[in-house]
Amino acid sequence: MAKENKKEPEIEEKPKLNLIEQLLAQNVRFFTFLYFDVFGKKYSLTVPISELDISVFAAGHETETAFGEAKLLPDRDNFFILPWQAENVFFITRVENKKDPFQYLEKAIVLLGEEGLGFAKAQSRVSFNVFDNLSWVLDSKTMASAIESVEMTSMGKNYPLSLGEEKQRAPPHDSTSAFRTQLAFVLKEFAGKEVISHYHGDSFGCCVMEFKETDLINSAISFLMLKFFAKNLSLQMNAIATFMPKPLWESPGNFYELSFTLEKDGKNTFLQEEEMSGLAKKFIGGILAHAPSLCLFTNPSTNSYRRLLEKIYGWSSSFENTILRFRKGRVVFSLPDPSCVPPMAIAATLLAGLDGVKNNTDPGTPLERTIIKRSLPSNLKETASALEDDNSYLGPLFEKDILSEYLRKKKAEYLLVEKYPSPIEYKQYLDI
């Protein structure tokens, strides 16, 4: 008698969950739109995630924003959940408004392609400080600030560091090692941003984080996420993180170093037979030519110019203090500091470099020795004046009204700081 062939029961495949459904399945209950303006201010709007569906990533979310009525467009590839706030997901968000900084970088990337120069990447290195406490007082009778770090000899605690001996020290002298490791972990685990190295920088409480090379949009987002995570994580640890360019007068200051490459047909066009290409020289020439006006985007705070006193205007393949270097096939731009707004700074730098390529700008002879050569602005007022005189290279992308608003705000910042006497002035001039 023939055996009866039994039909295997069909297993019904479960429909694949979309991103919103996945987040709901992970007990995420709130969706936060995290967005920025051209001056670097952060804004957020939080709504119940149950009120949204997958169409929010294509259609956006029309609502009242800090810029007025506008559409918020979350980036489905750039989101994170804070470990200590697991019920809330944050999405990096664009705003359909001229105050959104990412539109300028996106337009600069498109222009690069239209000019036949290919695809740009950047590797970034950022430094900032984590202090045990930072306080300040400013009123009609008192102007003072105080910084506390366990690494300072004056604190008389644990294992202090000596001035000038801070760089890449190991624990226990390095008090921020555990913080940096935790920061690198949460950036990778919860935001997908990879830190390839970190170490103690050359001032008290100084952290240096280096990110993996990526496209320009993700490079800018990595820095914005670093700021967000560092500030929030430091608060969890009863400390405070600051990205001021120069919070300590005796230190070299903090940097936001960008290493650029241009790729076309799978090749790095900054190299020609393993040597620096003519394209790279023109790109450097454009940045050098526009550096004084570029400073308003790369160094947009009054505090920035206390750090720039140490920088040498020029380019080299060896000296760390030149604002531009050519190293391992990359154009390394070390002028920017962490007070900048990354999408704006990168976009303006790209346009300056592109202008150099289009106009065959000669960068001049590389500096082979340390010299005093200063053609950079000394303060925010000077760089604002430089941008008023030199802004045509930004013309295709930066609208005149945005530039005017930017200039107005930066001039107001300068005038506000200029009004107040500093403690060093009392020391210098009290007895005159």
For the segment 39-64, the average pLDDT, to the nearest whole number, is 95
Q: For residue 2, what pLDDT is reported? A: 46
Query: Tell me, what's the pLDDT at 140?
Result: 77
Q: Among 192-196, 301-305, 320-324, whose mean pLDDT is lowest?
A: 320-324
Which positions ≥6 away from 266 have C-beta within 8 Å?
A: none
Q: How much is the pLDDT for 1? A: 44
pLDDT at 149: 87
Predicted pLDDT of residue 397: 87
Q: Measured on CA atoms in the order 91, 105, 244, 407, is the torsion positive or negative?
A: negative
Q: Tokens for 334?
A: 């070390």
pLDDT at 320 over 70: yes
Cα–Cα distance, 181 to 315 (Å, whole number)? 33
Topology at the third CATH level for domain 21-100: Ubiquitin-like (UB roll) (3.10.20)
Q: Which tens digit of pLDDT belongs to each residue from 256-287? A: 999 999 999 989 999 998 899 999 999 999 99
Query: 137 or 126: which carries more pLDDT confidence?
Result: 126
Instruction: List the single range of 79-88, 160-169, 179-188 with lowest mean pLDDT.
Output: 160-169
Give percent above pLDDT 90 in the chain: 70
Residue 372 has pLDDT above 60, yes or no: no
Q: Which amino acid is at 115?
A: E
Least confident of 81-90, 364-373, 390-399: 364-373
pLDDT at 370: 55
Q: What percent of the chain has pLDDT over 70?
A: 93
User: Other CB atoms closer than 10 Å to residue 422's CB: what's the count?
Assistant: 10
Average pLDDT over residues 391-400: 88
Give residue limits of the domains in the chain: 21-100, 105-419
Other CB atoms within 10 Å distance of the CB of residue 313: 17
Most confident of 207-216, 247-256, 300-309, 315-324: 207-216
Residue 185 — pLDDT band, cuts 50, 70, 90?
Answer: very high
> Are 21-100 and 105-419 in the same CATH fold?
no
431-to-142, 416, 421 alpha-carbon distances in Å: 19, 26, 15
**Which residue's entry shows tokens 């004084």?**
292
The fold of the 105-419 domain, in CATH, is Creatine Kinase; Chain A, domain 2 (3.30.590)
pLDDT at 10: 54
Query: Given a cut of 70, is residue 174 above it in pLDDT?
Result: yes
Mean pLDDT of the chain: 90
